[in-house]
Chain A
Amino acid sequence: MKAVLKKEIRGYFLSPIAYIFSGTFMLIAGIFFSLTNILGLSSDFSSTLGSLTFVFIIIIPVLTMRMISQEQREKTDQLLLTSGVPIFSIILGKYFAAVIVYIAALGLSLVFPITISLFGTALFGELLCSYIGFLLLGLVMIAIGMLISSLTQSQITAAILTAAAMLLLWVADAALSLITNEGLRNILSWFSFFSRLEPFILGKLAVDNVVYYISFAGFFVYTSYLAVEKRRWR
């Protein structure tokens, strides 16, 4: 896993992907920070972070589109899959590399609360919860993106499908209120990844939500492994 992890991280930073990813995130976060915190005279960066969830639709596909699809297209997966390294380790290596790039981008955004703390009072407890929530949501989104990347050999198709999946999940939250059947709404709300972030933004670190995100992330990572494994049997 270590070899794949190192190779992937290197690949992200030697290609424009890591820079486009973190640059876009920082640009949008900066605009929201300026509008909400500077012009709005608010020291609450957690809310700003909470309103940034739509950014996933744009940046997660950039991060995940090439994860597995490029290996399959270029046939470099022949090297990985015949090397003796277990397929699940290869998948984990790729997944954690993307997570590390994601964490690096999140880390860069710490410049905003630090700026707030220099001129006012930053609410670090809430902020910590918000960042944990954002990280957990990212874990699930990256896993979904990786799964989609494992299903196609085209990076563009992977990017478009991932963006569509993110958009669907984002819109589904809003659409939930339109469903009148309570039973159905309860079932669908269980799959509402974005609304589960709200308690974190409010500073509540609920164990069930942490388990929820980690379980889904684990599920999609495992499904990605199954998708690669299944390709061997096709």
Chain B
Amino acid sequence: MIKVKNISKYYGKSKGAENVSFEVKKNEITGLLGRNGAGKTTTLNIITGYIAADFGSVEIEGYDIQKKPRQAKAKIGYLPEKPPIYTDMTVDEYLFFCAELKGVDTELAEKHVDEICSITGISEVRSRLCGNLSKGYTQRLGMAQALIGNPPILILDEPTIGLDPKQIVEIRELIKNLSNNHTVLISSHVLSEIDKICSKIIIMDKGAVAAYDTLENLTNIYGSAGKMNLRVKGADSSFEKELKKIDGVNSTVCGEENEQGISDYSITYSKDRDINEQVFDLATKKNIKILEMKSKVSTLEDVFLNIVGKDKEKLN
């Protein structure tokens, strides 16, 4: 559906994007993740044809965005970081303008706009001026304009930026629902957002693609070792030795046993293993009571930090 081949864009001496390549398949939600200034917006602007790449090519359903811009752009609905709304128009006027701009048949436009207003939840503000809308409604309106003309591909640049938690959940749900019959490429620097809705993840750093895979594979490749905190009662010294024998366990540290016979263990294990069951079975076999068992597996944040470095920026 979207084929990005070796695109590069330079702004003078600084690079906006360099040698970026990836492919987004039909009805997939792919997340484009990166710090501010990593090249996400530049990449999206090139894909949508807003700016041109210095090198490389972008194909949208087989149409080159530079050579066949009309056909390629007709397949895309784009929500830029700042929704491109005309503040002096009402919501209705704006959406009908978008419909005309995107070549929606005049007779069908009314029904089409009705549907999109209903999907995006802006029906009650249709007569209001775009400039008077709240941030949440403005974002929804931006989403509505991207949906006009039923494009099979949606490209969303930071769709939840500046929204309150409730609005974020609503927009996220909307994107999830849209993914049933749309291919979605969504850019964000909010890790939890990408984590929750994307099936594939592209991590960009300094204008280039640093990693591109499913979250599971990225975790396996770039994730940190697993950690388990265990609190047990009635363990003897042999318990720690047995723990070390479990396949995948790298190290164990045992704290001092208190007066009630409770001791804490800190276990690290391979990131591609799940040792919960073995630990439970071992404790049961030795008649040890498990009071607390907490496993911390690698999150997207760990993966991201391992790829782009920990020192650069505090992440959301």
Contact = CB atoms under 8 A, between A and B. Distances in A.
B82 A75 contact: yes
SS class, residues of chain A in contact with chain B: helix
A3 to B, nearest CB: 4
A contact residues, range: 20 to 34
A85 B69 CA distance: 9
Contacts, number: 65
B51 A75 contact: no
Nearest to A231: B51
A233 B52 contact: yes
A75 B54 CA distance: 22
Contacts of A168: none
A84 B86 contact: no
A77 B45 CA distance: 12
A56 to B, nearest CB: 27
A75 B84 contact: yes
A11 B97 CA distance: 12
Nearest to B85: A76
Interface string A65-83: 0000000001111111111
A10 B101 CA distance: 15
B91 to A, nearest CB: 14
A11 B50 CA distance: 23
A185 interface: no
A3 B50 contact: no
Contact of A76 (B11, B71, B73, B84): B84
Given A75-B84, A78-B80, A3 B52 contact: no
Nearest to A14: B88
A233 B12 CA distance: 11
Interface in A201-234: 232-234
B49 interface: yes
Given A3-B97, A86-B70, A234-B11, A78 B78 contact: yes
Contacts of A97: none
A84 B70 contact: yes
A129 interface: no
Contacts of A14: 88
Given A11-B88, A15-B88, A80 B80 contact: no
Contacts of A86: 69-70
Interface in A1-19: 2-4, 6-7, 10-11, 14-15
B30 interface: no
Contacts of B73: 82-84
Given A7-B97, A76-B86, A232-B52, A84 B80 contact: no
Nearest to A2: B100
Given A4-B101, A232-B52, A82 B76 contact: yes
Contact of B51 (A2, A6, A232): A232
A75 B80 contact: yes
Interface in A59-105: 74-86
Contacts of B98: 79, 83
Give me the 6 closest cross-chain CB pairs, A-B, nearest first. A84-B73, A79-B84, A3-B100, A76-B84, A82-B48, A3-B101
Given A74-B86, A81-B49, A234-B11, 4 more contacts: A11-B88, A15-B88, A81-B50, A234-B51
24 contacts: A3-B101, A4-B101, A6-B100, A11-B86, A11-B88, A14-B88, A15-B88, A78-B48, A78-B84, A79-B145, A81-B50, A82-B48, A82-B73, A82-B78, A83-B73, A84-B69, A84-B73, A84-B74, A84-B102, A86-B69, A232-B52, A233-B52, A233-B54, A234-B51
Interface of B: 11, 45, 48-52, 54, 69-71, 73-74, 76, 78, 80, 82, 84-88, 93, 97-98, 100-103, 145
Interface of A: 2-4, 6-7, 10-11, 14-15, 74-86, 232-234
